[in-house]
Structure 1
Amino acid sequence: MEKALGEFLSLFFMAIAVGMDAFSVSLGLGMQMIRLKRIAIIGIVIGMFHFLLPFLGIVLGTLISARIGEWTMLTGGLILFGIGAHMVFSAFNHKAVKVIQTTGFGLILFALSVSIDSFSVGLSLGLSNVKTVLTLILFGATSMMLTWAGMIIGRKVHGFLGAYSEILGGSILCGLGLYIIF
């Protein structure tokens, strides 16, 4: 029971870390005063991408795991640490952000851009034989709720937390990567 709770908490914190990209971008997007109906649709689409991409990563990671055997835990931990470090360092990149299109193909590109790191996380989780259904539900639901929260807060706060949330998410992934390695 204690091991299952520990695994659930690890996956939950990982889901939060992966969803922080969506949260931080949604803060800025929320400042565009998008209607609540559009906010709901954007959150659902991002949640679906955070479900689909880790699934593809887990499938590929499981296939790779069968080939590289005992190195899977180390490889998975290094990948998580690398993704987290990239998130932390990219938070300090202050390039101008283009206005994001929130309909049609623009919405799909937006959802893909904030969800692509979940593929890599899924890949590393596939290497460590994680509970797939639980992981996918947590990743999808958490990122959807973080997107909604980011957009709603963005309407109120106008961008105060943007970079800090990405640093937090990256730090969580780095910590989980180190936990798996050691």
Structure 2
Amino acid sequence: MAVYYAGEFVSIMFMAIALGMDAFSVSLGLGMQQLRLKRIAFIGVVIGIFHIIMPFIGILLGQAISGQFGDYTTLIGGLLLFGIGAQMFFSAFNYESPKLVQPAGMGLLFFALSVSLDSFSVGLSLGMSEVRTVVTLLSFATASMVLTWAGMILGRKVHGLLGVYSEMLGGSILCGFGLYVLFG
């Protein structure tokens, strides 16, 4: 019995890390905006919370709509990431226009939603199996939060090396990841 639970926990951790990798990749681009460490910590916590809420909703709705709704969440997430990245890339050319997507307020909520939509899809499929919900949700949240922090801090370091080109690189990363989500 203990071997079964250990195997289940290892599987959940691998799934949590895989789901957190998109938050890491996207956070690399966002971290290039020279954010303060306090803001980086807050963003990681918000993304962790979304990685609890979205799969929980998915688990609750899993048996009813998993086959029909899962593909749409991937499409929406990819389009959001691409749109945010394109806006970030093109705003680098215009120093006078304000940034549309900031990691605060509604921009932060859209960002957190876009990187947690895939966890909703996973939640839909987990809803059809007997998964330990609390352990799963806490694993998803912890992995995504830690990987978000790591990506943003790494992106912050890269910004110091790249200067004015870092926002274009960050936008390109977001666009590329959005395209990967859509077509990968």
TM-score (normalised: structure 1): 0.69
Q: Does 1:97 align with 2:80?
A: no
Structure with max Cα Rg: 2
Residue segments in structure 1 that go unaligned for 5+ positions in a row:
66-71, 171-182
User: Which position in structure 2 is the counterpart of 1:179?
Assistant: none
| Aligned pairs for 1:8-157 within 5 A | 8-61=9-62, 63-64=63-64, 97-99=86-88, 100-157=101-158
Residue 64 of structure 1: CA displacement? 3.4
Distance in 2 separating the partners of 1:105 and 1:53:
17
Q: Is residue 33–residue 155 contact of structure 1 (8 Å, CA) maintained in 2?
A: yes
Q: Distance in 1 between matches of 2:130 and 2:60?
A: 10
Secondary structure of the residue aligned to 2:28 is helix
In structure 1, the residue corresponding to 2:34 is in which secondary structure?
A: coil
Is residue 64–residue 127 contact of structure 1 (8 Å, CA) maintained in 2?
no
Q: Match of 2:136, SS?
A: helix
Residue 32 of structure 1 aligns with an amino acid whose one-letter code is Q
- Structure 2: 5+ residue runs without aligned partners? 89-100, 160-168
Tell me what 1:68 maps to: none
Is the 1:30–1:155 contact (alpha carbons within 8 Å) kept by the matching residues of 2? Answer: yes
> For 1:38-91, what per-residue CA distance to the aligned partner results, in whole angstroms no more than 9, with x for missing partners?
101110111000000000001111x439xxxxxx9xx7xxx7xx89xx79xx7x
Equivalent residue, structure 1, for 2:98: none
Q: Give 3-state SS (helix, strand or coil) of 1:44's partner.
A: helix
**Alpha-carbon distance in structure 2 between the residues aligned to 1:64 and 1:31:** 41
Equivalent residue of 1:97, what SS?
helix
Equivalent position amino acid for 2:120 in 1: F
The residue that corresponds to 1:175 in the other structure is none
Deviations 1:107-142 (A, max 9, x none): 111110111111000110111111100000001111
SS in 2 for 1:31: helix
> 2:82 and 2:9 mapped to 1: Cα distance?
35
Aligned length: 148
> For 1:15 and 1:110, how far apart are their aligned partners in 2?
18
1:124-173 Cα distance to aligned partner (Å, 9 max, x none):
0111111100000001111011100100011123569x59xx6xxx8xxx
Mapped contact 1:18–1:117 kept (Cα < 8 A): yes
Q: Offset of 1:94 from its aligned partner?
A: 8.3
- Aligned with 1:127: secondary structure? coil
1:64 counterpart letter in structure 2 = A
1:57 touches 1:122 (CA, 8 Å); kept in 2? yes
Q: CA deviation at 1:20?
A: 1.1
TM-score with structure 2 setting the length = 0.69
Shift in CA distance, 94/115, structure 1 to aligned 2, threshold 3 Å: closer
Quote the offset at 1:3 in angstroms: 1.2
RMSD (CA atoms)? 3.2
